[in-house]
Amino acid sequence: MTSNDGWLVMVIWGTTIMTTHLILSSSKLFYLVGNEEKSGVAMIRHLKLFVTLFTLLLPTWAIQIRDHSSCESESSSASSSSEEHHGGHHPHRPRTTTPKPRPHCEEGWYTSYRPQGIWCMKIGIAHLTYHQSQSQCQTLGGVLSGIQNDAERQYMVNETVRQLIPTGITIAGLWLGASHNAGTRTFRWNDGNTQGVEGFFYGPGQPNNGNGDPRGPQNCLQLIVMTPAYWSAPNKWAPFTSTIDDYWCHMAHDPPTRLYVCGKRGPPDVTIG
């Protein structure tokens, strides 16, 4: 039994008591009127008692009936609201969606998921200077690429080794997209996309700007790469494996085998933003 039901029982009980008392009082009243031996004073006393009891109980009944009706109305409203919210006792279930495949670069290009967007890279091999390599990248729709992070550097090393092994060549220089900051021994990436300094993996003592070499300043950068066979007869480049060296932009003989890494913007990355 709920509290509202309890109040309703009390109202019914009170009504029953009042009705019973009314009947008894009326009967007694009729008896007194018909009995000539009783005085009119007794009749008046009973009428006053009836009026007093009715006056005391009536407000209480009215309050209980009002509260009970209000509770039933609130309960009905809450139940209706709950059913509407849950769709008639059917809780809402979130829709599951299959994520779209992450876009990638076209075949033959390495996909790098940079914070600034997808960057595509491709390595070519040719005995070219820096500027010749830049022109070659432009024919592919790109520019010489910088290095954003270590993952990109590892890609460049691995792909260069893969291309060198069939030739029997054990060491090469890979042109990078970078420019020398005049009056300093520092560089900046110039491909329009690479950011920060995380990718500047310099070798020991680099960049040294040629240490005053009469051939002039070394304004370009190359990544030195060796194959496993190199270590059977290492030379002066041994300390520079997989690191960056500054070099003369117009030269292509040290190391004599040259490669270049091109880069271009890839498709929009739906996971960014």
Q: Is 172 helix (H, G, I), strand (E, B) or coil?
A: strand
Find out whether 207 and 246 touch, Cβ atoms under 8 Å: yes
What's the rounded mean pLDDT across residues 102-119? 97
Assessment of whether the complete model's pTM goes beyond 0.75: no
DSSP-derived 3-state class of residue 188? strand
* Distance from C-alpha of 14 to C-alpha of 61, rounded to nearest angstrom: 8
C-beta pairs of 106-109 under 8 Å, 24+ apart in sequence = 109/264, 109/266
Burial 127-158 (b: 16+ CB within 10 A, else e): ebbbeebbebbeeeebbbbbbbeeebbebbbe
Q: What is the pLDDT of residues 73-96, one digit of tens each?
A: 444 444 444 444 445 555 667 777
Distances (CA, A) of 27 to 42, 44, 198: 13, 14, 107
pLDDT tens per residue across span 230-250? 999 999 999 999 999 999 999
Instruction: Quick: pLDDT tens for 211-226.
Output: 889 999 999 999 999 9
- pLDDT score of 96: 76
Better pLDDT: 167 or 47:
167
Contact 259, 175 (CB under 8 A): yes
